Amino acid sequence: MKRTLELTLLEQFLVVARTGNMTRAAGELHLSQSALSRSLQRLEDQVGQALFVRQPRAMVLTETGELLVGRAREILKLVEETCVEVAEVGRRGRVRLGAIPTIAPYFLPRVLATFAAARPEVAVTVQEDTTDQLMRRCLHGEVDLAVVALPIAGRGLEVEPLFSEELYLVVPPGHPLAEAEDVTAGLVGGYPFVMLNEAHCLSESIASFCRRQLVQPVAVERTSQLTTVQELVALDHGVSMVPAMAREVDRTERRIYRSFSGERPSRTVAVMWNAGRIQGRAVRQLREHLRGESQSGEWGIPVNP
């Protein structure tokens, strides 16, 4: 084995090992499959042995590959911790922040702007992904913090609830529910429903509320973007439910938002991190900033007042 192993190649190797698929790994890494294949070949040349058995639809680790997974994680963790310590000495820092798509475009712009004003020396990079992917990235040290919605179930992950926000019914103008005196879950159950696909935790929050109300909404369309849900509602494809933060930035008159009578559906926004990894000063500062912004009451009901 050569004495030099490139850190970038190890990082790419771990993504392929985690996903078991070149297409998904290349997508996550924003590389072409051919470029990623060349990187793996270069790493195998440096190691002197094959790391994967290449199958038509999967990349299966060899015994050497299994060994390198553990070693690569140790190496990259040590390098990361060293970089954190060096940055601390230089009073600079970097934070890799993840967020789910139903939070990132609404919550992060203002929060990161105020953080940048308070801590201009800290560089924050944002990675938007689904909850399951962010959990994996936290566990593997690919993100430092992630803003998600509860519930979260994952060993080794620390979760701090920040605030709870209401979920509003959204309907097109002229819809019967736009002028109804009281809006109940039972009334909503009689109309076609536009939802996010099942990879998004907001869909489960809505489904959980409907189950408690003994209502089964009929989903006629599913999409991967909350803005698309809102547009489909405006085009009278159905009704839906969206979080308060999305309602607040919607200035159009093409949609009407209503609160439910009785129990109001909600979701709890939280910050998540890997409890087993070192938390540098910059990461702690951003976490404290997220907590402070949440306690302001502008985003919903603080969970830890």
Helix (H, G, I), strand (E, B) or coil at 163: strand
The residues spanned by each domain of the chain are 7-85, 91-161+269-302, 164-267
Among the four given CATH numbers 3.30.70.100, 3.40.190.10, 3.30.505.50, 3.30.70.2860, the one describing domain 164-267: 3.40.190.10
* Residue found by looking up tokens 């509320």 in the block: 209
Closest CA to 261 of 196, 149, 177: 177
Beta bridge partners of 274: 157
Parallel/antiparallel/unpaired status of strands 93-99 and 122-128? parallel
pLDDT digits (tens, 9 = 90+) for 4-51: 778 899 999 999 999 999 999 999 999 999 999 999 999 999 899 999
Backbone angles phi, psi at 126, to 5 degrees: -110, 135
Q: What is the pLDDT of residue 87?
A: 64
Is 17 in contact with 65 (CB distance < 8 Å)?
yes
Same fold across 91-161+269-302 and 164-267: yes
Is residue 211 within a helix (H) or strand (E), and if so which, with residue range? helix 201-212
Among the four given CATH numbers 3.30.70.20, 3.40.190.10, 2.40.40.20, 1.10.3720.10, the one describing domain 91-161+269-302: 3.40.190.10
Give the residue ranges of the chain where pLDDT is below 70.
Answer: 1-3, 86-92, 304-305
Q: What is the pLDDT of residue 216?
A: 83
Taking the CA atoms of residue 231, residue 235, residue 236 and residue 242 in that order, the dihedral angle to the nearest 10 degrees is 10
Count of CB atoms situated within 10 Å of the CB of 146: 27
Q: What is the pLDDT of residue 3?
A: 61
Count of CB atoms situated within 10 Å of the CB of 176: 10
Is 196 in contact with 229 (CB distance < 8 Å)?
yes
Residues 6 or more apart in contact with residue 91 via CB below 8 angstroms = 121
Q: What is the pLDDT of residue 62?
A: 94
Is 248 in contact with 106 (CB distance < 8 Å)?
yes
What would the CATH number be for the domain defined by 7-85?
1.10.10.10
Residue 205 to residue 210: CA distance in whole angstroms: 9
Q: What is the pLDDT of residue 305?
A: 52
Closest CA to 96 of 133, 151, 137: 137
